[in-house]
Amino acid sequence: MIKPFKVALLGCALLSLQLPVQAQKASPTRLVEKVARKGSELVIPYEKYVLPNGLTVVVHEDHSDPIVHVDVTYHVGSAREEVGKSGFAHFFEHMMFQGSDHVGDEEHFKIVSEAGGTLNGTTNRDRTNYFETLPANQLETALWLEADRMGFLLDAVTQKKFEIQRSTVKNERGQNYDNRPYGLVYEKNSAALYPYGHPYSWTTIGYMEDLNRSDVNDLKNFFLRWYGPNNATLTVGGDVTPQQVVKLAEKYFGAIPRGPEVKNMKLPAPVLTQDRYISYEDNVRFPLLQMTFPTVPNFHPDEVPLDLLAEILGQGKNSILYKNLVKAQKAVQAGSNHPCTELAGEFSVQILPYPGQTLADMEKLAREAFLEFEKTGVTDDALARFKSSYETGQINSLSSVSGKTSILANYQTFTGNPNYLPVDLKRYKAVTKADVMRVYNKYIKGKPAVILSVVPKGKANEVAKADNFKVNTTGYKAPKDLYAGLKYVKAKDNFDRSKRPAAGANPVIKVPPFWTDKMANGIKVIGTRNDEVPTVAMLFSIKGGHKLEAKDPSKAGIAALTAAMLNEASQKYTAEEISSKLEILGSSISFGSSTDQMTVSVQALTKNLDATLALAEERMLHPRFDQADFDRLKKQALESIANQSTQPTVIANNVYNKLLYGENNIMAVPTIGTAASVASITLDDVKKFYADNFSPSVTNLVIVGDTEKDKILPKLTFLNKWAPKPVEIPADVKVANLDKTKIFLVDKEKAAQSEIRIGYMALPYDATGEYYKSQIMNYILGGAFNSRINLNLREAKGYTYGAGSYFSGTESTGPYTAYAGVRSNVSDSSVVEFMKEIKRMREEGITDEELAFVKSAMGQSDARKYETAFQKAAFLNNIIRYNLDADYVTKQNQILQNITKEEINALAKKYLPVEKMNIMLVGDKASIKPGLEKLGYDVVELDPDGNLLNKVADTPEVMIVAPEPTDPKSKKAKKKAVNKEKVGPSVIRTF
């Protein structure tokens, strides 16, 4: 199990330097320590300072790319909340983007975007962070912005902003919790696992009734209590110097007064006296069983062996749960994990059984898996896999300045020491078999758990066991008032803080140099060196994919099924053996399929590249195509297709594609296929598809990493064994003809939100033509956070958590799409606002200010485009796929800087045909249809597969503005989100 924000440390110990005492007294800002690289160590050099007001400043100097990442982490999350006031930490994160004394409403986003940067904020149980990545010349602007909202926020917090953001948070809850299958699992489980009043007993987003009863003064008090500089860490990494950062930190943050004292929290682990059975009904196809055992907090000595136990039981193809449940075709998914946070840890097992299997059966099988572990214990192989995978995950986490900066911020916040890396590495390397058996006996064997059943609506009798637990509020004592007597004291400056800092000279952007080659069997190769981390990444793109299924649409889904089979056994090794070898190497090989290509992704540490390529040869050229694997994967595919009916977003995307492409176009069929088409596919069909279409003659290869052309090409001689064959790519079929704008409605009964898609088939990809120029136009309409669409629907109206639009093109064609998930009761008004903004852009065009904004924002963003191996690979893949000139980026920049308002307005008139667009909604028909029918469009009802339910007589097309209603690394690393947070609801991003 890989946990994020650790790093492999190779070689000698870190060099830690301390200033003499007299030097510390000479400056009001104290240098605490300096950590430098010694020899070839894989470390994050930094300097740490503390300002007189308590602000900790950590600086990582890295001049490899002309960018800077700024992170401000406040040691406050939902764990600092109290009963009846849940959700404040996350709510306040939203408010921090709503302007301050010297920064106007929505200006924070606009300023960072205009500077070519990107930004966000996240909240979890234990901390809230705000961050931006910008060109290095914009460092002072970033610090000015962060300091202004730390020291000058509250007078800008108005009741109107409060209400809008409260509405936005409600939309976020609807989108990520209430309207999502299994979205309430974490909330229900937390309430049962922790005692009433424990700050982990509610989720980060909180309860809506708490937010409804709160007022703007509650929120202001939360800020005054927790947002002082002494409870924050400013971490800056990138093309900067410590002296530069400290000087600016002193200027902008130094005068901000200290806040109240904040002490670290420590609470006893929850104690369960018996198994607690709880359940709820949800709009799901598969029931779910989750068993959760309380464990230990972050950095506890038992954390690492529990991580390894989770991996042995339920992670990867060598785990017990995979073998006994997934491979045995008893469960669609089965796994275990062990997320830890500041106050507690949770060891969880989750199982989604196939139809015909009961949750009671799944609980029995889970307990049998524990018993099997008792007998088999920890193998040498499992121990080696765990340690190697951990090392690789940490190396990969150092691939970007933002990654390294976030690691430093995380360690400083939770340990007080950014240089905690060697300690963390040591405990992962030191874990033993005996440690794992000890923690199993201490925390899992025979211990009570919270056992949650999620069952389809109307099937309450299918729970694992009848509920036996209800939250008990007796005995709860409210904490003492932490908010009495708080006063807002602003900093007193000796400079004019209202003046936005001037940016330095624009950094010089270096497009990655690259080399090309072509193998004898037709593979086109393009590569570049990236030696910041000792890894190599390779991407094979084999043209065809889903598009090839046009030859026989009755077998739709065969490309995806073939890719899944290639992820299984080879002639020489079982899938489990390959998985084990890859994990020991710290490598990955994965096959995928999309609309127009199949892909093979290979990633390895440079030192293990040869061994990894040997396994790639096995999988690519010698697949076993085992019947048992095929039967299992086909069954999974059929269940996944059936499960789509529970997912509004998937329904919306599938139906929208069908409207765009039309009935007789393979692109109107989901890439996974249909129930009928997948049911008809045989193993012989898969073998033939592979033999006919998996060919070097239609393959491009991108290589990025710590290697050179003359070193890597000799290692690829095994590809010469791959015999070329002619592959005929079907010609494009004419897309659906759209005579006029209509509304298409798919019923999702009692849905809390409506998914909206609006658009039409626009134009194909062109790096320097009208496609690229249309993206410039759309940046203002729906391509940025400060776009007209998002500012209207999210920030002004509070209808949605996020809305936007985009052009998406390939060689042949591509759609223009506007999208949002909106509250059900504003579905009709949201359609009106979408169409109003699109029509306004078409008829009125853009302003001079917007033209200057888009030129600055898109132009300066180049500084962020080529930092990581992934970004370099995307750049190279574009060149080789579309046969672009080496200097196409230069040409794009010339187009951007020279484009006129008249050109953009002409593009809007040409490519925003409001009179011929599909307007598609997936939502609760009973509540939203009456409002939609008043908008003057034909309303056509479709089923979840996009088939016609009824046909409405044509009505005059009238645009009616309806009144407003009253009322957005390695596989394992991804399973553990940033700062060891749970993936999903426990970590909340601002947008």
Whether 625 has a pLDDT exceeding 80, the answer reads yes
Q: What is the pLDDT of residue 950?
A: 60
Q: What is the pLDDT of residue 433?
A: 97
Amino acid at 624: R
Alpha-carbon torsion (229, 119, 977, 386), positive or negative: negative
Query: Which has the minimum average pLDDT: 37-41, 119-123, 597-601, 902-906?
Result: 37-41
Confidence label for 86 from pLDDT (cuts 50, 70 and 90):
very high
Distance CA 441, CA 777 (A): 62
Query: Considering the domain 276-471 in this protein, what is its CATH number?
Result: 3.30.830.10
Question: Which among 20-29, 123-132, 164-173, 489-498 has the top mean pLDDT?
Answer: 123-132
> pLDDT tens, 909-950?
999 999 999 999 999 999 999 999 999 999 999 999 999 986
The per-residue DSSP string of 22-60 comes to HHHHHSSSEEEEEEE--TT-----EEEEE-TTS-EEEEE
Fold of 515-648+661-721: Cytochrome Bc1 Complex; Chain A, domain 1 (3.30.830)
The two three-digit tokens of residue 727, written as one number: 């592959």
189 DSSP β-pair partners: none
Whether 368 has a pLDDT exceeding 70, the answer reads yes
Looking at every residue in the chain, the average pLDDT score rounds to: 91
CB 90 within 8 A of CB 127: no
Region of residue 496 (left: phi > 0; alpha: psi -120 to 50; beta: else)? beta
**In 10 A of CB 460, how many CB atoms?**
14
Whether 761 has a pLDDT exceeding 60, the answer reads yes
Which of 659, 839, 880 lies closest to 759 in space, CA to CA?
659
Parallel, antiparallel or unpaired: strands 450-456 and 515-518? unpaired
Distance CA 864, CA 65 (A): 8
The per-residue DSSP string of 537-551 comes to EEEEEEE-GGGGGGG
Distance CA 329, CA 633 (A): 9
57 DSSP β-pair partners: 49, 234
Q: What is the pLDDT of residue 249?
A: 98
Q: What is the pLDDT of residue 732?
A: 87
526 DSSP β-pair partners: 516, 702
Half-sphere exposure of 539 (CA within 13 A, CB side): 25
3-class secondary structure, 958:
coil
Give me the percent of the chain exceeding a pLDDT of 70: 93
Say how many residues make up the chain: 991
Query: Which has the minimum average pLDDT: 4-8, 90-94, 178-182?
Result: 4-8
Q: What is the pLDDT of residue 863?
A: 84
The CA distances from residue 162 to 93, 95, 829, 833, 888, in Å, are: 12, 7, 21, 22, 45
Whether 142 has a pLDDT exceeding 50, the answer reads yes
Query: Considering the domain 742-968 in this protein, what is its CATH number?
Result: 3.30.830.10
Distance CA 322, CA 306 (A): 18
Distance CA 974, CA 448 (A): 29
Q: What is the pLDDT of residue 375?
A: 96
Q: What is the pLDDT of residue 18?
A: 33
- What is the rounded average pLDDT of the residues 616-623? 98
The two three-digit tokens of residue 363, written as one number: 């609980």
Distance CA 137, CA 204 (A): 35
Half-sphere exposure of 11 (CA within 13 A, CB side): 9
The CA distances from residue 404 to 70, 187, 400, 989, in Å, are: 11, 31, 6, 20
Q: What is the pLDDT of residue 27?
A: 52
Confidence label for 504 from pLDDT (cuts 50, 70 and 90):
confident
Whether 7 has a pLDDT exceeding 80, the answer reads no
CB 161 within 8 A of CB 153: no
Run of H or E residues at 495:
none
Distance CA 37, CA 46 (A): 9
Burial of 490 (0-12, 13-18, 19+ CB in 10 A): middle
Whether 987 has a pLDDT exceeding 50, the answer reads no
- What is the rounded average pLDDT of the residues 971-984? 34
Backbone φ and ψ for 407, nearest 5 degrees, come out as -60, -45
Q: What is the pLDDT of residue 11?
A: 31
- Give long-range contacts, CB 8 A cutoff, 24+ apart: 708-715: 708/529, 709/515, 709/517, 709/527, 712/527, 712/536, 713/517, 713/525, 715/609, 715/610, 715/613
Whether 984 has a pLDDT exceeding 80, the answer reads no
Distance CA 176, CA 184 (A): 9
**In 10 A of CB 385, how many CB atoms?**
26
- Residue linked to tokens 């936007």: 804
Which of 967, 966, 939 lies closest to 951 in space, CA to CA?
939
The CA distances from residue 653 to 452, 770, 793, 820, 980, in Å, are: 31, 25, 20, 12, 31
Query: Which has the minimum average pLDDT: 135-144, 264-273, 357-366, 981-990?
Result: 981-990
Parallel, antiparallel or unpaired: strands 753-761 and 815-823? antiparallel
Distance CA 127, CA 343 (A): 12
Whether 973 has a pLDDT exceeding 50, the answer reads no
- What is the rounded average pLDDT of the residues 479-494? 90
**In 10 A of CB 136, how many CB atoms?**
21
**Residue 364 contacts by C-beta under 8 Å, 6 or more apart in sequence?**
none
Q: Which CATH architecture has domain 44-253?
A: 2-Layer Sandwich (3.30)
Q: What is the pLDDT of residue 175?
A: 86
Instruction: Considering the chain, tell me which residue range(s) the CATH 3.30.830.10 domain(s) occupy.
Output: 44-253, 276-471, 515-648+661-721, 742-968
Distance CA 709, CA 202 (A): 54
Query: Which has the minimum average pLDDT: 78-82, 683-687, 986-990?
Result: 986-990
Q: What is the pLDDT of residue 956?
A: 33
Confidence label for 508 from pLDDT (cuts 50, 70 and 90):
confident
**Residue 237 contacts by C-beta under 8 Å, 6 or more apart in sequence?**
59, 60, 61, 62, 68, 69, 401, 402, 404, 405, 408
Helix/strand number for the chain, H first, E second = 33, 28
**In 10 A of CB 945, how many CB atoms?**
15
Amino acid at 75: H
Whether 899 has a pLDDT exceeding 60, the answer reads yes
User: C-alpha angle 660/665/669, rounded to 5°?
Assistant: 80
> pLDDT tens, 669-722?
999 999 999 999 999 999 999 999 999 999 999 999 999 999 999 999 999 999
503 DSSP β-pair partners: none
Among the residues of 586-734, which ranges form H helices? 609-621, 627-643, 648-661, 675-680, 683-693, 709-712
Q: What is the pLDDT of residue 85?
A: 92
233 DSSP β-pair partners: 56, 73
The two three-digit tokens of residue 771, written as one number: 């496609």
